[in-house]
């Protein structure tokens, strides 16, 4: 009798774990809360973020602020569809997908260069590694400091060619400023949550 109940619990537990991972964390403006909500054995966001920081030298607050701005920590985030004839859902504005909102081509480049062939954009650990890889390449190529969230985000949003041109739209500069502000806020919060 107890063995049957235990087997049922074992069968349901993975489904509950997957369900918990499918929804975005609440209180995304507090990094301690985000990490507390995603501290499982197999899906520990804090461990993944610090592993990426060690690998690429990009600080955790910069990584997390970028992911927050791009997807709001939603693993299945996509850009909205355009409308055909003003009301029929049509194609999406881009191939951006997942936590990092990486485009198909850039994601393929990341997998080739990193050797992370099984990487998925809907996996937080893979997505934050992608963000670290992208920011690190920006730093190495354009001389941007790895803690300069503003300029790193400009390059992330515009792509390397758009960043290189230098005539950044005011709206994108506003996004970059908001991301920089969030990274500073996260950095302050990390002091109090044992990061």
- Which pLDDT score, from 0 to 100, does residue 176 have? 98
Q: Residue 38 — pLDDT band, cuts 50, 70, 90?
A: confident
Torsion of CA 152, 158, 163, 169, to 10 degrees: -110
pLDDT in tens, 69-121: 999 999 987 665 455 566 565 454 666 889 999 999 999 999 999 999 999 99
pLDDT over 90 percentage in the chain: 67
Alpha-carbon distance 32 to 37, whole Å? 9
d(CA 77, CA 85): 25
Q: Which two tokens stand for residue 96?
A: 């951006």
d(CA 158, CA 165): 10
Which H helix or E strand runs over 91? strand 88-92
- pTM for this entry: 0.84
Q: Residue 20 — very low, low, confident or very high, per pLDDT cuts 50/70/90?
A: very low
Handedness of CA 114, 116, 119, 123 (dihedral sign): negative
């Amino acid at each position: 009798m107890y063995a049957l109940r235990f087997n049922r619990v074992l069968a349901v537990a993975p489904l509950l774990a997957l369900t918990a991972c499918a929804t975005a964390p609440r209180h995304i403006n507090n990094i301690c809360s985000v990490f507390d909500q995603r501290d499982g054995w197999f899906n520990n966001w804090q461990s993944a973020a610090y592993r990426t920081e060690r690998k690429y030298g990009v600080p955790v607050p910069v990584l997390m602020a970028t992911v927050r701005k791009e997807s709001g920590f939603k693993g299945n985030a996509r850009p909205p569809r355009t409308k055909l004839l003003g009301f029929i859902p049509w194609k999406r504005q881009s191939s951006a997908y997942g936590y990092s909102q990486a485009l198909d081509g850039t994601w393929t480049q990341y997998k080739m260069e990193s050797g992370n062939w099984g990487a998925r954009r809907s996996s937080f650990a893979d997505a934050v590694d992608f963000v670290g890889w992208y920011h690190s390449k920006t730093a190495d190529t354009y001389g941007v400091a790895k803690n300069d969230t503003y300029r790193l985000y400009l390059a992330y949003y515009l792509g390397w060619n758009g960043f290189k041109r230098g005539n950044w739209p005011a709206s994108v500069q506003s996004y970059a400023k908001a991301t920089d502000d969030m990274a500073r806020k996260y950095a302050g919060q990390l002091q109090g949550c044992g990061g």
